[in-house]
Amino acid sequence: MTQFRRIAFALGVAAAGFSAFATAADVTGAGSSFVYPVLSKWSATFAEKTGNHVNYQSIGSGGGIAQIKAGTVDFGASDKPLDAQELGKFGLGQFPSVIGGIVPAYNIDGVESGKLVLDGDALAGIFLGKITNWNDAAIAKLNPGLKLPDAKITVVHRSDGSGTSFNFTNYLSKVSADWKAKVGEGTAVEWPTGIGGKGNEGVSAYVKQIKNSIGYVEYAYALKNNIGYALMTNAAGKTIKPGNAAFQAAAATADWAHAADFNLIMTNAPGAEAWPITATTWVIMYKQPKNAANSKVVFDFFKWSLEHGQAQALELDYVPLPEALVKQIEAYWQTQFKH
């Protein structure tokens, strides 16, 4: 009998729990897997503070855009911004949420992490399959004093469609006319050479296993997996070490003021200290939401996370947006969205 009572009590508690869910607002978002870890962390803290739950499903940027267009979620998240025409057609607005950096990751015997320096041309040459050996003159001239082996380069790219690939190929298209003409940019492209790994973890695993290989991964993955990452020469001609300050510098010096609806890719940012392959994820919402109450919760959530979520973002190796950009986003909310 006591066991029965215990079960009945448990059921009662569960029912009470469900009814608590029902009274608080329950908003949903879907899209980019890049922001999933930080969004779920923010969402948990936000729920503790306000009782409102933000459910985020990491289904990929393409899926997120499709879901918000269909109106099945309260917000979408995409690694690739929508253009003004598409936003206008559906009555959508978008803003950046959090920053991450993408680094060239390599595995060369005798070359420690952070010792190899590359620039846009060399990186494009390697991924085009034009620079095939590590001791090629184009790499050697960037690395005087570094002894590079006479070994064939194995290129590792993403095999799945991803925002990481999009930002990486966008950068290569900006710095190399050859890349732009032959390959172009996209979440998936026709890679001229190399092998494909699934996800950041797949690329990390291949780079770690294959000698003399080079790939590209999110900075956090390179750190966690102890893979060597390269320094890059940026648009200002300065050699930069990847890190939070460099990613933030890219976000701060990108020309947001002249980008309507924040439709700007941060790669190859002009700042002297800017890391050249810096990325963000855009949150996409309706300007005139059907469900105003839910939309308000989403705004509260992102306002709270942009202003108070930095520490948690940093813990997960994301970089919070610079303060000036947060101000611009809040102004954009005021003018563009109906609360």
The single residue among 47, 195, 245, 264 that binds other proteins, judged by CB under 8 A, is 195
| Closer by beta carbon to other proteins, 252 or else 283 | 283
Q: Judged by CB under 8 A, does residue 206 bind other proteins?
A: yes
From 58-66, 115-123, 292-300, 329-337, give the range in contact with other proteins by CB under 8 A: 58-66
The nearest distance, CB 240 to other proteins, in angstroms, is 28
Q: What does residue 207 show for φ and ψ, rounded to 5 degrees? A: -60, -40
Q: Judged by CB under 8 A, does residue 72 bind other proteins?
A: no
The nearest distance, CB 206 to other proteins, in angstroms, is 8
* Token representation of residue 302: 């992102």
The Cα 14–Cα 19 span in angstroms is 9
The nearest distance, CB 190 to other proteins, in angstroms, is 4
The nearest distance, CB 331 to other proteins, in angstroms, is 31
From 89-97, 195-203, 238-246, 276-284, give the range in contact with other proteins by CB under 8 A: 195-203
Q: What is the 3-state secondary structure (H, E, C) of 193-249?
A: CCEEECHHHHHHHHHHHCCCEEEEEEHHHHHHCCCEECEEECCCCCEECCCHHHHHH
In this structure, the number of other CB atoms found within 10 A of the CB of residue 228 comes to 20
The nearest distance, CB 143 to other proteins, in angstroms, is 23
* Token representation of residue 69: 């267009």
The single residue among 140, 188, 220, 236 that binds other proteins, judged by CB under 8 A, is 188
The nearest distance, CB 65 to other proteins, in angstroms, is 8
Q: Give the number of residues written for the chain.
A: 339
The Cα 288–Cα 86 span in angstroms is 15
Q: Residues 6 or more apart from 150 whose CB is under 8 A from it?
A: 133, 134, 135
Q: Judged by CB under 8 A, does residue 61 bind other proteins?
A: yes
Q: Are 235 and 272 in contact (CB under 8 A)?
A: no
Q: Judged by CB under 8 A, does residue 186 bind other proteins?
A: yes
Residue with the two structure tokens 């950009």: 325
Q: Judged by CB under 8 A, does residue 209 bind other proteins?
A: yes
| Closer by beta carbon to other proteins, 140 or else 210 | 210
The single residue among 29, 60, 93, 228 that binds other proteins, judged by CB under 8 A, is 60
The single residue among 42, 106, 171, 191 that binds other proteins, judged by CB under 8 A, is 191
Transcribe 153-174 into DSSP letters: -EEEEESS--HHHHHHHHHHHH
Q: Which residues bind other proteins (CB under 8 A)?
A: 59-63, 65-66, 152, 154, 159-162, 183-191, 194-198, 202, 205-206, 209-210
